Amino acid sequence: MAKSFPLAGKIKGEIRYSVPLSGYTSFRVGGPIDYLAFPADMEDLRKTLQWCRGQGVRYFILGNGTNLLVRDGGVRGMAISLSRGFIGLEEAELDQGEKLVFSGAGEPLGRVVEFAPGRGLAGLEFAAGIPGTVGGAIFMNAGAFQGEMKDAIDSVRLMDAEGKVWERRRGELKFSYRSMELREGEVILGGRFRLRAGDGQKVREKVEEILHRRRIKQPLDLPSAGSIFKNPPQGPAGKLIEEAGLKGRRLGDAQISEKHANFIVNRGRARAGDILALIELAREKVLKEYGVLLEMEIQVVGED
């Protein structure tokens, strides 16, 4: 950690020190991070990235912490939240009934999903109920119900570690299953979605149907980070874990959900170490039983 922090008087946004990340992740676990910054605008973010580069401080974009597990020892470096200066929605007309809707990276994805039906736009129904921010959803190529972010993205706005900003079109973006390739140090500032004209009422009904299916199948009443593992070609990860006899397995207050075995839930005072131990148990058991090595979908950061 740097001995001084000159940015404190040079950016308009807020900077916090030694902040427990348990309050900023959906798992509600995790140790402290050295710095947590909330840049107020593009210039704030540019100064923050340049300072990190100059001081050799590692950084990552926090989002809503819905796909993140922070180890109990915390994180050396900086987390940057775009939840204050990088929000808002804009729309523009295109030919043949299509529209482009731009969303800032800090905007909750759910707000964009709700925004579309009111304007008679379709194409983002699959994202109903996916937690997190637009930036996080793009970075993880979030998807469900036969749809992914790459299917709706027209372009992504980015800033590199030196503060340069540009737009990268869909054809220049490299998406894969639950991932989008970024160059080192790049930050997603927002995304432009290409949506098609549709019946607003039917779009709403589809969104409600998907939300209902999520409520039935997923343990939404307890803290979690959503699906822990990517689905392998052999079938749903949750089914493999359940068939391996691990559904409901508990370690401390961490538990492989009794409702959906690809979720690990925090039943009160879980520690990141307990969650990681359950993750390894599931991977080892599924590998032993079925010869399938499960790959994590969530991001894990920090020190033990």
What fold is seen in the domain 237-301?
A: 3.90.78
pLDDT at 75 over 70: yes
Maximum pairwise Cα distance, the chain: 57
- What is the phi/psi pair of residue 136, to 5°? -65, -40
Q: What is the pLDDT of residues 10-33, one digit of tens each?
A: 899 999 999 999 999 999 999 999
- Residue 204 to residue 198: CA distance in whole angstroms: 10
Which residues partner with 92 through β-bridges? 100
Q: What is the pLDDT of residues 233-288, one digit of tens each?
A: 999 999 999 999 999 999 999 999 999 999 999 999 999 999 999 999 999 999 99
What's the CATH architecture for 9-80?
2-Layer Sandwich (3.30)
Q: Where are the domains of the chain?
A: 9-80, 89-217, 237-301
- Residue 256 to residue 2: CA distance in whole angstroms: 39
**Mean pLDDT value across residues 32-38:** 96
- Residue 179 to residue 173: CA distance in whole angstroms: 11
pLDDT at 5 over 80: no
Name the catalytic one among 178, 192, 249, 283: 178
Would you call 178 a catalytic residue per the annotation? yes
- Residue 229 to residue 138: CA distance in whole angstroms: 18
**Mean pLDDT value across residues 184-209:** 95
Look up residue 199 and give its two tokens. Answer: 């019946």
- Residue 58 to residue 159: CA distance in whole angstroms: 16
Rounded to 10 degrees, the C-alpha dihedral 5/11/16/22 comes to -120
Q: What is the pLDDT of residues 48-58, one digit of tens each?
A: 999 999 999 99
Q: What is the pLDDT of residues 137-170, one digit of tens each?
A: 999 999 999 999 999 999 999 999 889 999 999 9
Would you call 297 a catalytic residue per the annotation? yes
The CATH code that applies to domain 89-217 is: 3.30.465.10
**Mean pLDDT value across residues 21-47:** 96
> What pLDDT, on a 0 to 100 scale, did the predictor assign at position 142?
94
Look up residue 195 and give its two tokens. Answer: 């949506």
> What pLDDT, on a 0 to 100 scale, did the predictor assign at position 3?
46
Residue type, 165: V
Name the catalytic one among 155, 224, 227, 257: 227
**Cα Rg for the chain, rounded, in angstroms?**
20
Please give the mean pLDDT across all residues of the chain.
94
Q: How many Cα atoms occupy the beta-carbon half-sphere of 126 within 13 Å?
A: 15
- Residue 117 to residue 226: CA distance in whole angstroms: 25
Question: What percentage of residues in the chain have a pLDDT greater than 70?
Answer: 98
- Residue 158 to residue 135: CA distance in whole angstroms: 10
Would you call 155 a catalytic residue per the annotation? no
> What pLDDT, on a 0 to 100 scale, did the predictor assign at position 6?
65
pLDDT grade for 78, boundaries at 50, 70 and 90 = very high
**What are the CA-CA distances from residue 28 to residues 68, 76, 150, 222, 225 (Å)?**
10, 19, 29, 10, 9
pLDDT at 1 over 50: no
Q: pLDDT: is 51 or 97 the higher one?
A: 51
